[in-house]
Chains A and B, each alone.
Chain A
Amino acid sequence: MLRMNKLAKTYRTNEVKTSALRPFDLEVKQGEFVAVVGPSGSGKTTFLNITGLLETASEGQYWLDGVEVSTLGDKAKSRLRNEKIGFVFQSFNLIPELNIYDNVEMPLRYRKLSASQRKERVEKALEQVGLAKRQTHYPSQLSGGQQQRVAIARALAGSPSFLLADEPTGNLDSKMASGVMSLLQEINQKGTTIIMVTHDLSQVAFASRVIEVKDGVINDVENYAQEIA
């Protein structure tokens, strides 16, 4: 479970103070599929980065699976990120000189797992995204949709509690995007909590809950489709 209490993010440059996220409370329960929506520059990605421990909040408290993260050091945060969170990025972020197997294995390398345990997890994750036979291929040999599936497999390989996706279909055509969204839905149905930042309203339908970020203010939206209509 994820709980944020009076969390806020402010950027300071010289004399200028910019409030990226105003103080908010939020709780995301295990198994939820949360879509984070809002206009560009509203603070969606900042929210996702703080959630994923890639950025630190300026104030407030944040519990990730019962662990208060604001006081954690680099090593503890890295470990928490490795064990609890999986990331899926808009531009896939695969390492071109590593093959698919090695790309998916990457998070597992930072855990004390044996080679056979890593192999088992990588193969399972690749099977889950339907790319079990492409282990020795390189990212450049795959389509955009396949590359994003590899990125999802990489996020899943560590069996995270939370999967954070930042515009996961932003670089894909509609057919590929639909495939990726179906995959995310399937993953969520198996119990993984997903928090997804998106611009695409058609994808909001996959989510069980919608959060809107507007001018740094975060609000739960009960019936998003009706609201924007």
Chain B
Amino acid sequence: MGIYYTKLAMLSLWKTRYMSLLAIIIIAVGIAATMTTYTINYMMTKDPIPSKSDSLFLVRINNWSPDVIYGNEDEEHAPIYMAVQDAVNLIRHDKAQAQIPIAGFKDMLKLPTQDAVDAKMTFVRSSTRDFFSSFDVPFLYGSPWPQGSDKSGEQVAVISKKLNDQLFAGKNSVGQVVELGGHQLTVVGVLDDWSILPRFYGESTRAFKGPRDVFVPFQTQLNLELWSPNVQAFECWKEADNASVEAFWASECIWVYFWVELHNELEKDAYMDFLESYVEQQKALGRFQRPMLNELQSPAEYLKEREAYSSDSEIAVWLAICFFALCLLNAMSIIMTKFQSKAGEVALRRAVGASSVDLIQQYMIETGIIGLFGGLFGLLLSQVCLMLSSQLYTHLSKDIMAMSAQLMVVTVLLSIVSSLIFGLFPIVKAIRVQPATQLKSL
């Protein structure tokens, strides 16, 4: 019967084509508004790394001024980042499955063969090789630098696919050399396409920007004293001994995010014990004079606390849903008018033996097809809206404005299901006609 009902639905849609088209357009506009805002909100609030969301933690220790609460807040929290010396110490103690300092700088990047004028300002991420394995970063060529590079601060780099395309025309550049701020770095790996949204591991204000193009060992940044105060947020409760980078590294200024990978509660408890002993040790050395507030914070908790995403986008989704409901009510009114003209056919079909269920099935297929077309057209409109949004909001990663295949399927299904629900009332109303009256009046 499905094929028969579909054939009848297509004939009916053609017969009432203008009304049907209007209903389809109204549904499409509603679904496009909803799914565009939902996509942006979903991409902003989704779990950036589902396979690791329970095992990655930001380490927070209360290394702030003895005289004032960090952030001048009512409730005291440990800062989100730590001083270089603490990051180095935690790496050296090696108590977690993976230790990932997140630091960075910017500098001029070029090929050794290029002129200085061809150098481009490039943002660099510095970390350890654990960064790549813990954050599931895919490699196109090569691999992360060896563990020895983390310790020695070797001048090596991993570059993004985009940068590899720009500098090496997409060829395998492992072993090639790039020049960063006058320092020569050997490429050991090239990343494949990689996007992580929200980019939880660094500054929350940049959570919706794409990853950087160059990655170097944290120790390399320290050794080469590569520092960009206007790029990297930092806070100091005590001035460094002098203006040198070396003094800054040795200061109590905090700016290094420090993530660890811990696979279960036991490991987590053990790491908390380690942090406690570490802080006690530092207290004995005269540091960490504030109450101990050690914390291991998950990516979701960190993003929520830092209010990485505004509640405005959630409000926008609700507004869009309300708009969609209005569109559906409009479509329902059109479908009702459309079905009113079917009273004669309903009566005839009842007379020849169709039950109410038969007619409900037949007309639900028709409203389902309206929903399907509305969904497909809405999907097309959503893509246009997302494309326009990505051009309008250039400060946000384009990946936020991209609908996954799963969301595309949801778009069409949502349209079909909501059309079926909102089409039910007109259908029930249509089939409740008195066949006897209708057949006589025909």
A residues in contact (CB < 8 Å) with B: 45-46, 49, 52, 54-55, 74-75, 78-79, 81-83, 87, 89, 91, 93, 95, 97-98, 106-107, 109-111, 154, 158, 166
Contacts and interface: CB of A to CB of B under 8 A. Distances in A.
Contacts of A91: 442
Contacts of B357: 75
B439 to A, nearest CB: 6
Contact of B436 (A54, A74, A98, A154): A54
A107 B436 contact: no
Nearest to B362: A109
A81 B434 CA distance: 15
Nearest to B4: A109
Nearest to B11: A97
Given A75-B357, A78-B355, A49 B436 contact: yes
B358 A110 contact: yes
Contacts, number: 69
19 contacts: A46-B436, A54-B351, A54-B439, A78-B350, A78-B355, A78-B358, A79-B355, A82-B352, A87-B351, A87-B352, A93-B439, A93-B442, A95-B348, A106-B349, A106-B352, A109-B4, A110-B353, A111-B353, A158-B352
B354 A78 contact: yes
B91 to A, nearest CB: 74
A81 B345 CA distance: 16
> Which interface class (under 10, 10 to 19, 20 to 34, 35 or more) fits B?
20 to 34
B356 A97 contact: no
A40 B374 CA distance: 49
A93 B435 CA distance: 12
Contact of B440 (A45, A74, A106): A45
B350 A154 contact: no
A90 to B, nearest CB: 8
A78 B440 CA distance: 19
Interface in B164-183: none
Contact of A55 (B1, B14, B354, B436): B436
A158 B353 contact: yes
B442 A154 contact: no
B436 A45 contact: yes
A45 B441 CA distance: 12
Given A45-B436, A109-B4, A93 B344 contact: yes
Interface string B75-104: 000000000000000000000000000000
Interface of B: 1, 4, 11-12, 14-15, 344-345, 348-358, 434-436, 439-440, 442
A158 B354 CA distance: 13
A109 B7 CA distance: 13
Contacts of B344: 93
Given A82-B353, A111-B353, 14 more contacts: A45-B440, A52-B351, A54-B436, A55-B434, A55-B436, A78-B350, A78-B354, A79-B353, A81-B351, A81-B353, A89-B442, A106-B349, A154-B352, A166-B440
A91 B438 CA distance: 11
Q: Say whether chain B's binding surface is mostly helix, strand, loop, or mixed.
A: helix
A55 B355 CA distance: 14
A55 to B, nearest CB: 5
Contacts of A107: 352-353
B16 to A, nearest CB: 11
A79 B354 CA distance: 8
Contact of B355 (A75, A106, A109): A75
A82 B353 CA distance: 4
Contacts of B14: 97
Lowest 4 A-B CB distances belong to which pairs?
Answer: A82-B353, A78-B355, A107-B352, A49-B436
Given A93-B344, A98-B11, A109-B4, A81 B439 contact: no
A109 B6 CA distance: 13
Contacts of B15: 97
B49 to A, nearest CB: 54
Contacts of A46: 436
A110 B353 CA distance: 7
Contacts of B439: 54, 87, 89, 93, 166
A118 to B, nearest CB: 10
Given A93-B442, A109-B4, A110-B358, A81 B436 contact: no
A155 B348 CA distance: 11
Given A91-B442, A95-B345, A110 B351 contact: no
A83 B354 CA distance: 11
A91 B351 CA distance: 14
A47 to B, nearest CB: 11
Nearest to A112: B1
Contacts of A75: 355-357
A98 B348 CA distance: 13
